[in-house]
Amino acid sequence: MQFFQFTEEQDMLRKAVREFAEAEIAPKAAEWDEKDYCPMELFPIMGELGLTGIFVPEEYGGSGMGYVERAICLEEIARYSAGLAIALMTHHLGMAPILDHGTEEQKAKYLPELCAGTKLCGLATTEPGGGSDYTGQKSTAELVDGQWVLNGRKCFITNYQADVCVLTAVSGQDEKGRNQLSVYIIDKGTCGFSMGRHENKLGLRGSNTGDLILNDVKVPQENLIGKAGGGNKIGMAAIGEVGRAGMTAICVGILRGCVEEGVKFANERILYGKPIAKLQSIQFDIAGIRTDYEAAKLLLYSASGKKDAKLPATTDYAIAKYFASEAAVRSAKKTMELMGGYGVINEYPVGRFLRDALASIPSGGTSHIQKLIIAGSTLSDFKA
């Protein structure tokens, strides 16, 4: 077993994204959070930097890198704005099914502009009737005269204003009467496809979340990804490895923010004649936050490394996401407490870190779901 180390290129990428984040994201993150403003103007710029299509092969306009590199980008961006990071990660999330399961025509049609960041992508699976109950969704897709007609409603959709929406619907039942899902690419503006209410969120503000309404939306056959009924697997693969991975990276970014802000404050705040960093109780807090960050980081990059090596990583990501999101909430709260009164003043980012961490728990699979996945694989893989 070799010890964990990034390559020179990965270090360069981290440095490059960090410079971009410090210059263009850090100064505005608080404002975006306060106004719940999603900085879409940064998407074409991130496109030029190769971040919007980071894991897409060069032939489709991407950067030809992998999931480790994607995690690095998301971590660096989330360190300053988890809201922008989730918008970017969801953009990737919608692209993944097109890349992994789409036809050459679909890839050639959609991926270049998505990689350039000139168009926004999103994934829509969650419904008022349930998100965790994935196959229990109720939107329907019926094949009528060679076209699919979709009806239903999606909610809590990040990037619901996307130009290209990758969406699941029930297209039939299997022999046991269980729902079969299919995945469709729907262009914004398609007749009958509209945006519903905008959600006013507690955290991850700076990304747009809302409803999507499907009212007899006609989708041509060539916009079906994979086969009819293949949506169970395609959708779950995307959520399980791309969505979960993205949320984990975001939480690792928040955790690093907690370490850095905590250290800065502890070294500068003078009480009893010396910096509070000299007090044991504060040191214990700093140790806890640091350990959470390092552990979450290792889980994230280990899972991402496996995915890039084409090894199964679903359970690894479940463990990473569950741990990182809960750790982010725990450590953000700890950082706030370490800062005393200053922790609840909005000029400091820590309050935003906590809200973003809280909002990360139900995103990309709740902790309850992650635990079921982890338990499932543990009970079958570990022999007593």
Residues 33-52 that bind another protein (CB under 8 A): 48-51
Residue 275 token pair: 């910096």
Name the residue nearer to another protein (CB basis): 13 or 78.
13
Q: Which residues contact 337 (CB under 8 A, 6 or more apart)?
A: 285, 343
Backbone angles phi, psi at 198, to 5 degrees: -95, 135
User: 150 and 165 in contact (C-beta within 8 Å)?
Assistant: no
DSSP 132: S
| Shortest distance (Å) from residue 61 CB to another protein | 10
Minimum separation from the CB atom of position 79 to another protein (A): 16
Instruction: Give the whole-angstrom CA distance, residue 197 versus residue 213.
Output: 10
Tokens of 106: 């679909």
For the residues of 360-372, what is the DSSP string, one character each?
HSSTTS-HHHHHH
Can you tell me whether residue 100 is helix, strand or coil? Answer: helix
Q: Are 120 and 161 in contact (CB under 8 A)?
A: yes
Shortest spacing between CB 305 and another protein, in angstroms: 18
Residue 341 CB, shortest distance to another protein, in Å, is 13
Residue 309 CB coordination number (10 Å): 11
Binding flag, residue 225, another protein (CB under 8 A): no
Q: Judged by CB under 8 A, does residue 230 bind another protein?
A: no
Nearer to another protein, 239 or 282 (CB): 282
Using CB under 8 A as the binding criterion, the count of chain residues that bind another protein stands at: 23
Single out the segment in contact with another protein by CB under 8 A; choices: 6-14, 291-299, 315-323, 360-368: 6-14
CA of residue 170 relative to chain centroid, distance = 24
Please give the Cα distance from 78 to 239 (Å, whole number). 19
| Residue numbers 157-216 binding another protein by CB under 8 A | none
CB closer to another protein out of 20 and 293: 20
Q: How many CB atoms lie within 10 A of CB 271?
A: 11
Q: Least distance from C-beta 282 to another protein, angstroms?
A: 16
According to CB under 8 A, which one of 108, 144, 270, 345 is a site residue for another protein?
Answer: 270
Nearer Cβ to another protein (21/157): 21
**Shortest distance, position 43 Cβ to another protein, whole Å:** 14
Kindly tell me which of 73 and 286 has the beta carbon lying closer to another protein. 73
Task: Tell me the H-state helices in the chain.
Answer: 8-20, 29-35, 42-48, 67-78, 82-101, 104-116, 231-237, 244-268, 280-308, 314-338, 350-360, 367-381
Question: In this chain, which of 133, 222, 268, 337 binds another protein, going by CB under 8 A?
Answer: 268
Site string for another protein, 46-85 (x = CB under 8 A): --xxxx--x---x----xxx---x---x------------
261 binds another protein (CB under 8 A): no
Min dist. Cβ of residue 175 to another protein (A): 46
- Residue 246: exposed, middle, or buried by beta-carbon count in 10 A (0-12, 13-18, 19+)? buried
Tell the smallest beta-carbon distance from residue 375 to another protein (Å). Answer: 37
Nearer to another protein, 64 or 229 (CB): 64
Amino acid in the structure at residue 83: G
Q: Which stretch binds another protein (CB under 8 A): 16-24, 92-100, 280-288, 291-299?
A: 16-24
The residue among 15 and 35 lying less far from another protein, judged by its C-beta, is 15
Three-state DSSP class for residue 91: helix
Report, in Å, the least distance between residue 8 CB and another protein: 7
Contact residues for another protein, defined by CB under 8 A: 8-9, 12-13, 15-16, 19-20, 23, 48-51, 54, 58, 63-65, 69, 73, 268-270
